[in-house]
Amino acid sequence: MSGYRNPHWGSSSKDMAPPKPRRLYQVWKGSNKFFFGGRIIFGPDVASLFLSIFLIGAPAVTFCSKVFTKVRGAEEHSNQLRFWYPVLVIGLIVTFLDLMFLLLTSGRDPGIVPRQSRPPESDGSFDIHRASMEWVNGGAPHLRFPRTKDVIVNGHVVKLKYCDTCLLYRPPRASHCSICNNCVQRFDHHCPWVGQCIGVRNYRFFFLFISSSTFLCIYVFFFSWINILQEQHGDSLWKTMSREITSVILIVYCFIAVWFVGGLTVFHFYLICSNQTTYENFRYRYDKKENPYNKGMQRNIRELFLSSIPPSMNNFRSWVLEEENEGRSVALNIGGSVMSSKEKSDREIGSKLAEDGRIPVPEHLQNLNYNGIDNNKKNKDADGVHCISLTLFLPTLIIRHHVYIEVHCLQDSRAQRLSGCKISVTQDDHYLDLFACQIFSSLDGMYVCGGLRQL
C-alpha cells in the first residue's frame, strides 16, 4: 500500500478528525513570505530589501553625520549654523520618507487576484471520464473552454487571458508573476530591489520611493559639493578634496546612483502620463494603436495620486480548512453527466438546510447500504443501483455555502484502486458527518464507491 495517508487518521476510523482550520496565509499557494501573523506580505526575494535599505541608509546617515558635525561645531547665531541646520533637518526627513515608501511598497499586497479552486464553467464539451482519470494521475483535464475572452474597455476590445495556475480569467491589465506565483491586478513588474510585485495597490508608493531616492541623491550630491567649496579657504580644489574624502565619496556614489533611480523615475513618470504599465509598454506597444486606458495626462496623474487605493481582495488572516498535502483532496461530482452549478450544489450538499441548520446527507449517500467491498461487484451485477460513480473532478475542496466535502484515500497501485477512503463533510469549520468506502476503477474509466457506510 503506497502513498496518500492522512496524518490525522489513526488505526480506527473513529479516530479520524476533520481537517483543522488554519489561517489563509499559512496555506497560501503563492511564493510570498508572511510576517506578524499574515499582516505583512513580502515577495520570495524579500532578503534584497535589506540590501536596498543599506544602499539608501548608509550614504544618507554618513551625509547627515557630516552635516551634524558642522552644525555642532558652528558658533551660535552664525551663518554656518543657519545654513546647515535646515540642510540636516531636510536630509533626515527625506531619508525617513524614502525608507518609509520602500517599506510601504514591499510589505503590502500589490493587488493579488485570489486564485480559484476549480476552472471556470466549461461548455460541457469535454470527456468527463478522461478528466476523472487525469486528475487522479496528477494532470489537468482537457476542459474545452476558450483560452481568451473579449471585453469592452472604454470602447476598445481587450482580451482576457486564462491563467492555468490560478484557474481564472485574468482581469484587464492583470498578469501572472512567475516569481511570486500570483496573478496581480494592473501588474507593472516584479522589482527585485523591493522584493515585491508592483501592482495596483503599491504602484503609487513605488513611484514615490524612486522619486524620493532620486531627490535624495541630488540633495546629497549638491550639498557635498557645497561643503567642499566652503572648506576650500584659499586652497586649491584638489587639495580641499583630499581633505574632504567623505564628501568626495558621497559625490561619486550619488552621481552613479542618480543615473539608475533618476532614469527609472523619468521612465515611470512617462508611463503615468500615458497610463501604461512597464509590462504593457514592453509587450504591447500602444504607440501603434490607441491605448484604451489613456484618459489624458492630467486625469492619468489624478487617477494615480488622488484616487483611493482599492482594498485587498484577500484576507490572509481568515480561517480556512487545511488541505492535507499527503492526502487526496478532491471535489466530488456525483454522476456521469455534466451538471449546472445549481445542480452540482444541490447534489453535493443536499437540496436545503435541515431545521437545525445542518446540511442533510445527500440522497446519493443516504441510499447506499453496503456490507463490504467483497459484495460490491455482486450487488452491482444484480441490479446496478447499489453503486454510485464518483468522478474525481478537481484536486481541491469543493465549497458550496460554506460546506466542505473532502476525500482522503490510500492508493493501491497493484489493485488499481483507491482503498481506505474516508469522506468528511464539514460546514463553517464544524464537523457534520464522516463516511468510509472503497473506491476502485470500473471498466468505463469511472471510479466506483463500494462499501459506503456512515462512521
DSSP, residue by residue, 196-219: EEE-TTTHHHHHHHHHHHHHHHHH
Whether 64 is catalytic: no
Number of other CB atoms surrounding residue 282 within 10 Å: 10
Nearest to 182 by CA among 106, 112, 116, 280: 112
User: 291-308: per-residue pLDDT in tens?
Assistant: 889 999 999 999 999 999
**Domain annotation covers residue 312:** no
Cell 476552472 belongs to 119
**Domain annotation covers residue 104:** yes
CB 155 within 8 A of CB 142: no
In sequence order, what are the beta bridge partners of 391?
333
pLDDT average, residue stretch 66-75:
86
CB 277 within 8 A of CB 169: no
106 and 199 share one domain: yes
Domain termination site, one of 175, 191, 207: 191
Note the pLDDT of residue 234: 77
Domain termination site, one of 258, 273, 305: 305
Taking 60 as the threshold, does the pLDDT of residue 326 lie above it? no
Secondary structure (3-state) at 162: strand
**Residue 306 is placed in which grid cell?**
488622488
Domain termination site, one of 161, 191, 221: 191
CB 454 within 8 A of CB 141: no
Q: Could you give the CA distance from residue 191 to residue 207 in angstroms, rounded to a whole number?
A: 12
Note the pLDDT of residue 74: 75
User: 88-98: per-residue pLDDT in tens?
Assistant: 999 999 999 99
The separation between CA 271 and the C-alpha centre of its own chain, rounded to angstroms, equals: 24
Number of other CB atoms surrounding residue 375 within 10 Å: 14
pLDDT average, residue stretch 207-214:
98
Helix (H) or strand (E) holding 298: helix 297-305
329 and 367 share one domain: yes
**Domain annotation covers residue 184:** yes
pTM of the predicted structure, to 2 decimals: 0.66
Q: Mean pLDDT of all residues in the chain? A: 73
Burial tier of 357 (Cβ tally within 10 Å: 0-12, 13-18, 19+): exposed
367 and 382 share one domain: yes
In sequence order, what are the beta bridge partners of 320?
22
Sequence-separated (6 or more) residues with CB below 8 Å from residue 257: 55, 213, 217
Sign of the CA dihedral running 46, 47, 50, 53:
negative
**Domain annotation covers residue 2:** no
431 and 295 share one domain: no
32 and 91 share one domain: yes
**Domain annotation covers residue 222:** yes
Taking 90 as the threshold, does the pLDDT of residue 112 lie above it? yes
Domain count, the chain: 3
Note the pLDDT of residue 427: 53
296 and 180 share one domain: no
Note the pLDDT of residue 117: 82
341 and 435 share one domain: yes
Note the pLDDT of residue 364: 39
Q: Could you give the CA distance from residue 356 to residue 261 in angstroms, rounded to a whole number?
A: 63
**Domain annotation covers residue 52:** yes
175 and 211 share one domain: no
CB 191 within 8 A of CB 209: no
Taking 50 as the threshold, does the pLDDT of residue 331 lie above it? no
Nearest to 98 by CA among 309, 225, 261: 261
220 and 83 share one domain: yes
385 and 406 share one domain: yes
What single-letter DSSP state applies at residue 170? P
403 and 379 share one domain: yes
Q: What share of the chain is helix, strand, coil (3-state, %, to 5)?
A: 40, 20, 40
Nearest to 109 by CA among 157, 52, 39: 39
Could you tell me the residue range of the domain that residue 389 belongs to?
13-20+323-454
Catalytic residue, candidates 180, 183, 191, 437: 191
**Domain annotation covers residue 311:** no
Position 19: which residue type?
P
**Domain annotation covers residue 210:** yes
CB 60 within 8 A of CB 216: yes
CA distances to 62, 180, 221, 225, 248 from 242, in Å: 18, 48, 17, 13, 8
Residue 236 pLDDT grade (very low, low, confident, very high; cuts 50, 70, 90): confident
289 and 356 share one domain: no
